Structure 1
Amino acid sequence: MPIPAHLSLTIPDTDLPRIVIVGGGFGGLNLAKGLRKTKAQVVLLDKNNFHTFQPLLYQVATAGLEPDSIAGPLRKSFEGNPNYFFRMVKVTGVNPTLNQVETTVGNLRYDYLVLANGSVTNYFNKKDFRPKVLPLKRVVHALDIRSHILQNFEQAVMTKDKAEFEKLMNIVVVGGGPTGVEVSGALAELKRYILPKDYPDLDFTQMKIHLIEGSDRLLNGMSDFAGREALNYIKKMGINVQLNTFVEDYDGDTVQLNNGTIETATVVWSAGVRGNVVEGLNATSVERSRILVDEFNRVKGTDNVFAIGDVAMMQLQDYPNGHPMMAPVAIQQGQHLAKNLTRDIQEKEMEPFSYFDKGAMATIGKNKAVVDMPNGMHFKGFFAWLIWMFVHIMYLIGFRNKLITLNNWVWSYFTYDKGTRLIIRTFNRKFLRRPSSVNKI
C-alpha cells in the first residue's frame, strides 16, 4: 500500500538511544511508564490512541459498562515528558537487519525495539465461519456484540415466525475460559433481572444461553476447584453447558457441533487467542504463533529486539510452553524489561525475568466468583467476588475510570439494573438476515 504523501512517521532526531515500543497494552504501557527516568527517547506505536482494560470487555458487551470506563488515552500517560512520543499507526513489519520498524506511514529507525502487540482471536483455521461469529478482543468487538444482541431482541418482538424467534433468542458462547464463563454469566443475569423489564412482551423463558467447551472442564488455566465451582454456578443460572464439544461450522443460522446442532443468530467466539506476530522476524524465532525469547525477553537470534506479554514465549523449566497469556505476565515483563533496558543503556548486565504468580480469578455473576491464590488457597462466592472486584478496580487506568466503574457496579448491585442498553450504532454483517416474517409498520 503506498504511503499517503501528506503523512510520514517523523520523530525528532536525538543523541539518546531510541526505544520503540509496538503496542499500548498492559506490557507496552507498563514498559513505557518504567522508562520515565531513563535517558532515552521512547516512541510508542499503536493502531488505537487508547489502552483497553481487556478483562472488563465482557461488561461492555453485556451492557454493564460504557467503553470509556475501561479505556484510557495513551497520550495522557506521557504528559510532561519531552522524550516520549506516540504515533497512531499500524505496524506492518520489522527489519532487524536495518534496525527499522515498518508502518503504514513509513519506517522508523530504532536502537531498541520491543514487540508488545499482544494477541488476536484464535479461530483454529475455521476460516469459513470466521466472518459470521462475534469475537471479544477489542472495544469495537464489545460494542458489536451489545448492538447485535439488542437488535435481535428488537426483531424478536416483531417476528411472527417461531423458528426465526428461537434463533433470535438463542445465544451460543464458544470457549469455557474466563471470558466465556463471564460472558455467559452476565447474559444469564440480563435474562433474569433486566431484559424482562425492557421487553415485557417477550417470553424470556424461551431464551437459551449455550456455553460450548472443547475440554472436559471449565476454566482450564485455573484449579480443578475453580472449574468445578464455576460449572456449578453456570448450571444453577440456567446456562446449557456442553463439555467435550467442538464447533465444526456455522452458517449464520445453525451451529454444527461434533455431537449435534443449535439454531441461533448469535455466536460469541471466546475459544482462545494466539500471538499477534509481525512480519520480518526469522522463522526460527517464532513457534506456535508466539515469538521465542530468552530469559531477558530478547528475541532469539537478535541483539536489540525484545518481546513481552502474550506475543512472547519464554520457555523455562517451570513454563515449558511459555508463560500464560494473561495480563499479570505482561505487566511484570513490561516493568522488568524497563529496568533491564535502563541497565543495558548504562552498560550494566541485565537480570533474568522471574514471574511471580499472584493467582487467578473469574466472576460468573453477582456474588459468584472463584479465586485461586498462589499459596494454594481457593475461594468462591461473595468473598471471591469482592476480591475480583477490588483487583479489577485497582488495575484500571485513571481515577475517573475507577470511580465510574465502581459507581456502575454499586448501582447495579442494589438496583439489578444496567443503564447502557443503547443501540448507539446499528451493527450489520452480511450474513445477518432480514426475515420476511417481521411485521411491517
Structure 2
Amino acid sequence: MLKPDKLSLNIPDTTKPRVVIIGGGFGGINLARKLSEKHFQVVMFDRQNYHGFWPLLYQVATAGLEPDSIAEPLRKMFGSDDYGDFYFRLVKVTGINPDARTVDTLIGELPYDFLVVATGTKINYFGNDQIKKYAFPLKQIPHALNLRSQMLQAFEQANMTSDPEIRQSLMNFVIVGGGPTGVELAGALAEMKKHVLPTDYPGMDFTQMNIFLIEGMDRVLPPMSVEASEKTHKYLSELGIIIKLNTLVEAYDGEIVILKGGEQIKTNTLIWAAGVSGAVIGGLPEECVERGRYLVNEFNQVKGYDNIFAIGDVALMKTPEFPKGHPGVAQPAIQQGKLLAKNLKRLVLKQPLEPFKYFDKGSLAIIGRNRAVADLPNNIHLGGFFAWVIWLFVHIMYLIGFRNKLVVLSNWIYKFFTYENGTRLIIRPFIRKGDRVSQDFINKYNTD
C-alpha cells in the first residue's frame, strides 16, 4: 500500500469551471449526471467507490439481500463518453479552504471554482462513548455485514449453550430508534423469527426470542403522520415486537442495556438507529453551521458564500413549510442536485438563479409481509397490502442499475413464495472488542 505522500489526485488542468462534489449519495450523483461536460470539469470525492441505496440496508443486515444488489460502482455510473470530463477519486476530504478556494484531502489539495458538499449524515450517539463502542450502527454496508454476522452468530451460539441466561441474552435484540430504519429492521427480524429461524434451528424455542423497539418520543415513525404511526404500532404489536415509547437508553456495556428509569435488558445485540447529524467538513466559519448542518439559502448556497453549496441531508434550508429544514430522505437531495446543476449553468451564463421548491412525493415504511404505511400527497394515508405494493414499486424504481433492479425483484419474488432469506452466511465472523461470549464461541468452535 502506497503512503499518502507517494500519491496525488492527478486531476488535469482545465480552462472550464471546475465543480468539486464531495459525496456520491443521491444529491451528488444527480448533480453530476445533469452537469454537461461542455460547460464544466466535474470532480467527485468519496470515501467509498460506490453509491449505496441505503433504504434497503436493513435487508442486507437481515440476510435478505447481498450488498452488491443495493450498490453501484461510481466509476460504472459515470464511465460512458457522456461524462468525458468527469473524475472520481477515492479519498477522504479533510477540510475546505474558502479563501484559497481549495479542497484539502489526505493526498493533496485541489482548487475549485464551485464546491458542492453532499456528504449526507453521520451517526449521532449524542455524546455517549460507551454506546458508540458497543452498539451496532446501521449506516453503511460494512455495518450491515457486521450486524448480519453478529445476529447469525448469536443464533448459532444460543443453539449450543446450556446456560439459559446466556441463551436469553443472545436471543434478545434491542433496536434503539423508532424511525423508518428501526421499524423496518424490527419487522424484518420478526419475519425471520416466524418463518425462517425455526426451520434453521429446529431444536430451539423461538418464543423466547425478544425484539425490543425503543423510541424516545411518544410514537413510532415520528417523521410521518399520526395515522401512519398508529397503523405501524398496531402492525409491530401483531408481530410480537415489544415497543417502549418515551424511553431513552442511558448505557450499554455490551451485555446489559440500562434504560432511563433503571430498567435493564440483557442482550448481546443493541442496534443503534436513534439519530444522525450532518457530516460537515471543517474549514468554514461556525456561523455557517446550525444543528450539525450547513445553513443554505433558497439556491443551496452556504451562508456567506456564492460559490460553495450544500445539498441533501447536510443542508439546512429553512422555509415557512419546513422551518427545521427538509426531511432527511432521498427526495430533497435528488431534487436539489438536479436544480443545482441548472443553477450552476445559469451562474456561468450570468443568468438569474431559480429558487428551490420541494415537491413532497410522500413517505413510506414497510413492516413485514403485506404490511406498510404510506403518507402520500393531498393528505392521503394508506396502510396494509396496497401501501406494501407501493413501497415495493418505489424502491425498485429508485434502485440504481438494471441489474440491481432485477436481482432485488427476483429475490423479493422468491422470498414471497418461499419465506426464505437466502443469504444466511457467516462469511467473516464478527468479534466485537470485549465481547466475551462471541470470542469464546470463535475460539471453541472454529478451526484454522
For the criterion TM > 0.5, the same-fold answer is yes
User: Structure 2 matches for 1:87-98, cutoff 5 A?
Assistant: 87-98=89-100
Matches within 5 A, 1:184-199: 184-199=186-201
Question: 3-state DSSP class of the match of 2:4?
Answer: coil
- Paired residue secondary structure (1:172): strand
Residue 3 (structure 1) shift? 6.5
CA contact (8 A) 2:431 2:439 kept: no
Q: Which moved more, 1:222-231 or 1:160-169?
A: 160-169
Provide the residue aligned with 2:206 in structure 1. 204
Gaps of 5+ in 2: none
Match of 2:286 in 1: 283
In the alignment, what sits opposite 1:177? 179
Bigger drift between 233-242 and 425-434 goes to 425-434
- Counterpart in 1 of 2:163? 161
Q: Is the 8 A contact 1:173 1:210 kept in 2?
A: yes
Mapped to 2, the partners of 1:358 and 1:350 lie a distance apart of 24
Alignment of 1:40-439 (within 5 A): 40-79=40-79, 80=81, 81-259=83-261, 260-434=263-437
Give yes or no for contact 1:168–1:265 (8 Å, CA) kept in 2.
yes
Q: Offset at 1:429? A: 1.1
Moved more, 166-175 or 339-348: 339-348
Counterpart AA for 1:71: A
Q: Deviations over 1:302-332 (max 9, x none)?
A: 1210000000000111111111111111111
1:213–1:243: 8 Å Cα contact kept in structure 2?
A: yes
SS of equivalent to 2:437: coil
Q: Write the distance in 2 (CA, Å) between the matches of 1:222 and 1:205.
A: 31
Residue 38 and residue 55 in structure 1: after superposition, are their counterparts in 2 closer, same or farther (change >3 A)?
farther
Quick one: percent identity of the two aligned structures?
A: 57
CA contact (8 A) 1:160 1:437 kept: no
- Give the Cα–Cα distance (whole angstroms) in 2 for the partners of residues 349 and 106 of structure 1: 35
Query: What SS is found at the alignment partner of 1:9?
Result: coil
Could you list the runs of 5+ residues in structure 1 that have no partner in the other structure?
A: none
TM-score, normalisation: structure 2: 0.96
Deviates most, 2-11 or 138-147: 2-11
Q: Report the CA distance shift for 1:22/1:207 in structure 2 as closer, same or farther (over 3 A).
A: same
Question: CA contact under 8 A between 2:37 and 2:85: conserved in structure 1?
Answer: no
AA aligned opposite 1:58: Y
Q: Deviations over 1:99-127 (max 9, x none)?
A: 00011111010000000000011111111
Query: CA RMSD, aligned part only?
Result: 1.5
CA distance in 1, matches of 2:438, 2:126: 31
Q: Are the counterparts in 1 of residues 366 and 372 from structure 2 also a CA contact under 8 Å?
A: yes
Q: 1 CA distance for matches of 2:345 and 2:3?
A: 34
CA contact (8 A) 2:37 2:86 kept: no
Q: C-alpha distance in 2, partners of 1:3/1:287? A: 36
* Residue 202 of structure 1, CA deviation: 1.6
Whether contact under 8 Å (1:3, 1:104) holds in the other structure is no
Structure 2 contact 5–107 (Cα < 8 Å) conserved: no
Alpha-carbon separation, structure 2, partners of 1:38 and 1:69: 33
Report SS of the residue matched to 1:370: strand
- Structure 1 residues 437 and 286: CA distance shift in structure 2, 3 A: closer
- Residues 375 and 37 of structure 1, relative CA distance in 2, 3 Å threshold: farther
Q: Would you say the 8 A contact 1:294–1:300 is kept in 2?
A: yes
Measured in 2, the distance between the counterparts of 1:247 and 1:290 equals 25
Partner of 2:23: 23
CA distance in 2, matches of 1:436, 1:111: 52
Q: Which range moved further: 33-42 or 262-271?
A: 33-42
Give the whole-Å Cα distance in 1 for the aligned partners of 2:438 and 2:408.
38
What one-letter code is carried by the residue in structure 2 that aligns with 1:33?
R
CA distance in 1, matches of 2:385, 2:403: 26
TM-score (norm 1): 0.98
Whole-angstrom CA distance in 1 between matches of 2:161 and 2:190: 23
Q: Using the alignment, how far apart are the partners of 2:239 and 2:407 within structure 1?
A: 28
Residue 33 of structure 2: aligned partner: 33
- Classify 1:437/1:282 alpha carbon distance in 2 versus 1 (closer, same or farther; 3 Å): closer
Do 2:431 and 2:438's aligned partners in 1 also have CA atoms closer than 8 Å? no
